[in-house]
Amino acid sequence: MKPFDWVVNTMPKTEDKNLTVMALEEIKKARTFHESFPQYSKTPLAKLDQMADYLGLGQIYLKDESYRFGLNAFKVLGGSFAIAKYIAQQTNKDVSDLPYSVLTSDALREEFGQATFFTATDGNHGRGVAWAANKLGQKSVVYMPKGSTLTRFNNIKAEGATVTIEEVNYDECVRMAADAASKTKNGVVVQDTAWDGYEEIPAWIMQGYGTMALEANEQLEEYGCDRPTHVFVQAGVGSLAGAVQGYFANRYPENPPKVVVVEADVADCLYKGAKAGDGGIRIVDGDMQTIMAGLACGEPNTISWDILKNHVDTFVSAPDWVAALGMRMLAAPVKGDVPVTSGESGAAPFGVLACIMLFDEYKELREHLGLNKDSKILLFSTEGDTDPDRYKAIVWEGKER
């Protein structure tokens, strides 16, 4: 099996202007908004004591997003908050004045009218946008890249979206969504990546993801953990990673946890940027075929990239077998720990952590990160079995494709 690659962050720092996107007061607004949904409940934070002992660590905490809003993934947090912020902006309101009950009211629908929200997705983000648009009486159009599964397609279609699978990769689908929105009356792109000239809505999406980080932080404190020493988080375009890193950098400015960012090796644009070391953006192109469909993105979010290069400790480029190992270990953990149904993109960071602790070839990284019996690790399982057949094939049948 091909080992995973890693690089310590030595990139030059910037003025860090984008860290304010994840200011704690903004994240509290997002969480208050999400709490207004009748479907809201705090997702579990699994404490894997036996696994921590087995791996030689102090504590392992895993945020299980398979319970989020009945959608089996965290992405709805970003899409729903961004749509609310957009409607607030268009109606000259603050998002704090637009809880779910107001957003779904006839009065607001009459005031705001009808918009069509366009997006590109490997599955979870598009489903979240479609769900939120549906709940709020709006329209959605979703473009999916080559290789997307029929199960994920049908999940999005079930939310009332117009959805297609295209013969291009994710980044090309993003461009298609932006182009279509520009030609549609009241068309709006709700994309979880940012580029020059398109940064406001992605910033709102990142703030929406902050709800997950804020919940996890509160749950850590309930467990008696004052702060994590390490955070492992996955990245596609980097929006989630930037949101998580941004939250914890703001929450613990004097003593932040070490953050490790994990990407799929066929779409490791952040890793390549970190390895180059100059702070510039690197782009990965091609089909990017990986079981980690949610991470198959080759062009970084410009806002997140700025946050990540200022704060992340280490970037990892992981092959599929690492994610598969994480899925299996979480599905059948050490006796006494609760099993977690973690999908391909959700389990990748845990797979990396397990490899670092179990295999001598990663001893140098283990020592660099200072992972030991005193370490308190936080991870985010961002999705459950969003494609149940594929999940079973990997976890039950031992396949890795």
How many residues comprise the chain? 401
Tokens in use for 2? 């091909």
Q: Return d(Cα 69, Cα 62) in angstroms, integer.
A: 18
93 is catalytic: no
* Rounded (5°) CA angle 156-81-391: 40
Q: Return d(Cα 156, Cα 160) in angstroms, integer.
A: 7
**Is 278 strand, coil or helix?**
coil
DSSP assignment of 219-277: HHHHTT----SEEEEE-SSSHHHHHHHHHHHHHSSSSPPEEEEEEEGGG-HHHHHHHH-
The one-letter amino acid code at 271 reads Y
Q: Return d(Cα 205, Cα 211) in angstroms, integer.
A: 11
Residue among 64, 122, 268, 387 flagged as catalytic: 122
Place of tokens 């991470």: 295
75 is catalytic: yes
Tokens in use for 345? 């993109």
Tokens in use for 370? 């200072």
DSSP state, residue 113: -
Maximum Cα interatomic distance, the chain, rounded to a whole number of Å: 63
Q: Return d(Cα 132, Cα 130) in angstroms, integer.
A: 6
Strands 187-189 and 116-120: parallel
Question: Are the CB atoms for 159 and 126 separated by under 8 Å?
Answer: no
Residue among 47, 63, 75, 135 flagged as catalytic: 75
Q: Return d(Cα 400, Cα 344) in angstroms, integer.
A: 10
The burial class, CB within 10 Å (0-12 / 13-18 / 19+), for 41 is exposed
Element (H, E) at 81: helix 76-90
- The closest of 16, 181, 37 to 104, measured between CA atoms, is 37
Q: Return d(Cα 388, Cα 376) in angstroms, integer.
A: 31
Tokens in use for 139? 């329209």
Active site residues: 75, 122
